[in-house]
Amino acid sequence: MDLLTNPIKDYAWGSRTAIAGLTGRPASGPEAEMWLGAHPSGPSRLTRDGSELTLADAIAADPVGALGQPSVDRFGERLPYLMKLIAVDRPLSLQVHPTPEQAADGFARGDVNYSDPWAKPEMICALTRFSGLAGFRAADQAAMLVERLHVEALKPVVTQLSRGDVLGALRVLLAWPGSRREVVESIVWAAGAVHQPDYELVRRLARQYPEDPAVLAPLLMRRHELAPGEALYLGAGVLHCYLDGFGVEIMAGSDNVLRAGLTSKPIDVDELLRITVVEAQPLPITPVEGAYVPPCPEFLLRRIVPGQGHVLDGSVPRIVVCTEGTVEVGSPIASHDRANPSHDQVKLHPGESVFLPASDGPIRLSGDGTAFSAEPQVG
């Protein structure tokens, strides 16, 4: 097993307290994500034989030993998932992820939107209360909410929604033909007269993005609130935007994101609309014996409160991160050799993590803390 050092992404929407507080150190600025995995945009690092290397390099040196033959057979010689600690203090961009076929095609064409040839299904498991927008409302409900603003400039949006054309309404907003600041100011003024949470969220977004008509998204989309321990899965084509909270996120090992609003990052309205599926909705995932198992093969997530002992079998590559208390990770004592305990024993504190190669065999977790373990769905 290998202790990991994990990169932290300092995106502007991140928190100054969540990740820093978990790891017991000060933050110099916003910290949005801690990446735990082997993706080339931010691989974890480890030390072997006195030398530092990336987790990707360690896997490449012994793919079958690190990943196990079943994972190599299904996903190739790469870690098929990426786990993150995600700390959302300000809303993320309005975004969507592609299907496997769309990702492979976009990558092959050299489309700059596709940095990987793989899809990016993802799941968020809340550590604190966590909220986001995901999936569209019914078109007639969205039309009613927008019409309630009584903003003359939004009539084309209402018209599209009244026809049941949600994507048409979104296209009007994202490719607004007139003064963007002027229409946002009109939306903000009108939303202030409606004392409901969805309209207040519109105003909140407008304070951050005063020239982006996509601030109207809360009236077009469904809002989701997760309590700690609850999880939501977002497959391909689901339009979404995380709003606030702290959680463990896991996804396929891809960084393919199509953005079209509420961001300073590059956007591609046409491509986002092309791959967005109006009917696609997020899926709540209820854990079974601590395991959150989404409908995709690249990953599952386990929440483990080990107490006196919890044994994970071998044969798959795992990353384990401690989120509370302390968790000891080590090989169980073989029944035929109880006088000689494991040669590996690591105590994890909050924010610390370890990579468990498939070749390590069964692993025992113990302690008074809580850990999350990521692994592919194979076997």
What positions carry a catalytic annotation?
259
CB 228 within 8 A of CB 124: no
Task: List alpha helices for 24-162, DSSP H.
Answer: 55-61, 63-67, 69-75, 100-108, 139-147, 155-162
Q: What are phi and psi of 97, to 5 degrees?
A: -120, 150
8-state DSSP, 317: -
Two tokens, residue 156: 């084309």
User: Residue 294 CA to chain centroid, in angstroms?
Assistant: 13
DSSP string for 160-227:
HHHTT-HHHHHHHHHT--S-HHHHHHHHHHHHTTS-SHHHHHHHHHHHH-TT-GGGGHHHHEEEEEE-
Burial classification of residue 131, based on how many CB atoms lie within 10 Å of its CB (0-12 exposed, 13-18 middle, 19 or more buried):
middle
User: How far apart are the C-alpha atoms of 137 and 189, rounded to whole Å?
Assistant: 23
Strand partners, 223: 133
Q: Is the CB of residue 350 less than 8 Å from the CB of residue 22?
A: yes
Q: What are 74's two structure tokens?
A: 């299904």
Q: Which two tokens stand for residue 232?
A: 């939501």
β partners of residue 318: 356
Three-state DSSP state, 306: coil
Cα(140)–Cα(91) distance, rounded to whole angstroms? 26
Chain centroid to CA 377: 18
DSSP-assigned beta bridge partners for residue 14: 88
Distance in angstroms (rounded) separating the CA atoms of residues 309 and 319: 18
Close Cβ partners of 250 (under 8 Å, ≥ 6 residues apart):
81, 82, 83, 84, 122, 123, 125, 299, 301, 374
